[in-house]
């Protein structure tokens, strides 16, 4: 007779654990009642200082009547926030929300239509090489970005989910004598009050994590012969050490265009060599970032192994841009799955453990299903990365850009990189199968 009360107690405990976690999980997705359609961003960045400031104007589409919505902004001081609609100013209030968001509440429900959200903000520059961060190299200070997978919210308020692809117009002001670069060409420049401002052309629709910025006393050399403008940017004193990499870029790009059967889709192609850049490389459209060790090398110390790395990594990252131009299905699917993976990677194990230890098998199976999104994401990532690497290797062989030991070296570099994704997939699938094994072999 005591079994029913015991079962009820266990169920109550399990549901309480899951319910406690759900508010944070709910904040992972911003929903589709209010969505961005375009965004302009103005940033004032002095890399020598600890903080930066900015303002942004986000065009919104309210798709269904609602009196509240959220956007992403992490550890930001919001100086002002104003919402305007078809009838003019809208009375709103705002407060910190869950999962690095800000929650906006309107005094009256918002009718469907177009609105504009204007925000002024400030924040500390990060020092751990994520978001918008500062670093010192030589005698200078620099600012760079690393937004993948969801750290654009550390640089400006935004809808920081890959499903939201919108045009961005970026404007960056830096101290006089410094420069800034972003995804698109400079549209105009102006100087006033000790600041030099770079206004960049609007991007094609992009997810927020692909917006990129570099600022500081940068120097550069031209990448000749690509068919679109291109430069390699470095910290002060290193640009001339990238001449070999600059000479390899155009043949690689043209070979990739021929192999993919589509032209490079963006208005320019710049490379940025960043000291101590932990991701190694990142395929930001129009502004691919690399660890400086990949692009910077004194001609007297250049080796075959180094040339292999330049060719392999550069071809791989440019290949991602051409995948995007082709609307490569696995790449689109992977981007769409990111929010589900963020949700499943921590909530799935929590639900599983709650169900397992409280002897509630159905709850445990729910955890397995939620975690399955993580395993599926890891599997979908494989064709994206292997496709870019495979095409890079084939074009290098077919075009005669590298041969013999150099080509074999590139294979080694790209295969080693691909194995990291294989390892991630194996780990995720093994964890999922482990959960299934435990549940199917349990005897209560």
Write the burial class of residue 314 (CB in 10 Å: 0-12 exposed, 13-18 middle, 19+ buried). Answer: buried
Residue 148 in tokens: 């993948």
Distance between CA atoms of residues 290 and 162, nearest Å: 22
Distance between CA atoms of residues 72 and 208, nearest Å: 11
Q: Respond yes or no: is residue 317 known to be catalytic.
A: yes
Write the burial class of residue 422 (CB in 10 Å: 0-12 exposed, 13-18 middle, 19+ buried). Answer: middle
Distance between CA atoms of residues 318 and 220, nearest Å: 19
What is the C-alpha radius of gyration for the chain, rounded to an integer number of angstroms? 24
Catalytic residue among 74, 148, 257, 317: 317
Q: Which residues are identified as catalytic?
A: 317
């Amino acid at each position: 007779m005591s079994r029913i009360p015991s079962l009820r107690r266990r169920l109550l405990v399990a549901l309480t654990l899951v319910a406690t976690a759900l508010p944070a999980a709910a904040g992972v997705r911003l929903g589709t009642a209010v969505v961005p359609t375009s965004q302009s961003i103005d940033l004032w960045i002095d890399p020598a200082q600890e903080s930066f400031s900015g303002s942004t104007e986000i065009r919104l589409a309210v798709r269904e009547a609602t009196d509240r919505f959220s956007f992403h902004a992490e550890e930001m001081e919001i100086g002002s926030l104003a919402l305007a609609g078809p009838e003019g100013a809208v009375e709103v209030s705002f407060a910190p929300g869950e999962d690095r968001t800000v929650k906006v509440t309107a005094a009256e429900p918002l009718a469907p239509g177009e609105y504009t959200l204007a925000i002024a903000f400030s924040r500390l520059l990060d020092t751990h090489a994520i978001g918008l961060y500062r670093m010192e190299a030589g005698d200078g200070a620099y600012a760079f970005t690393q937004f993948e997978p969801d750290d654009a919210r550390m640089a400006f308020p935004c809808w920081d989910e890959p499903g939201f692809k919108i045009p961005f117009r970026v404007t960056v002001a830096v101290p006089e004598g410094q420069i800034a670069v972003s995804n698109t060409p400079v549209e105009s420049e102006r100087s006033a009050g000790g600041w030099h401002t770079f206004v960049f052309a609007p991007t094609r629709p992009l997810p927020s994590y692909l917006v990129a910025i570099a600022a500081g006393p940068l120097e550069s050399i031209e990448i000749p012969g690509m068919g679109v403008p291109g430069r390699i940017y470095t910290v002060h004193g290193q640009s001339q050490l990238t001449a070999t990499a600059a000479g390899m870029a155009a043949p690689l790009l043209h070979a990739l265009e021929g192999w993919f059967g589509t032209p490079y889709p963006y208005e320019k192609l710049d490379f940025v060599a960043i000291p101590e850049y932990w991701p190694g490389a990142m395929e930001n459209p129009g502004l691919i970032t690399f660890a400086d060790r990949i692009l910077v090398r004194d001609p007297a110390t250049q080796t075959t192994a180094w040339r292999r790395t330049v060719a392999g990594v550069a071809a791989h990252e440019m290949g991602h841009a051409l995948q995007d131009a082709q609307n490569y299905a696995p790449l689109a699917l992977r981007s769409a799955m990111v929010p589900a993976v963020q949700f499943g990677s921590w909530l799935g194990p929590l639900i599983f453990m709650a169900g397992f230890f409280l002897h509630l098998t159905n709850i445990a199976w729910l955890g397995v299903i939620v975690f399955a999104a993580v395993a599926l994401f890891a599997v979908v990532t494989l064709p994206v990365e292997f496709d870019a690497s495979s095409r890079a290797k084939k074009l290098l062989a077919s075009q005669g850009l590298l041969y013999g030991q150099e080509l074999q070296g590139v294979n080694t570099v790209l295969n080693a990189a691909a194995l990291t994704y294989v390892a991630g997939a194996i780990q995720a699938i093994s964890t999922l199968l482990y959960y299934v094994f435990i549940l199917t072999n349990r005897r209560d």
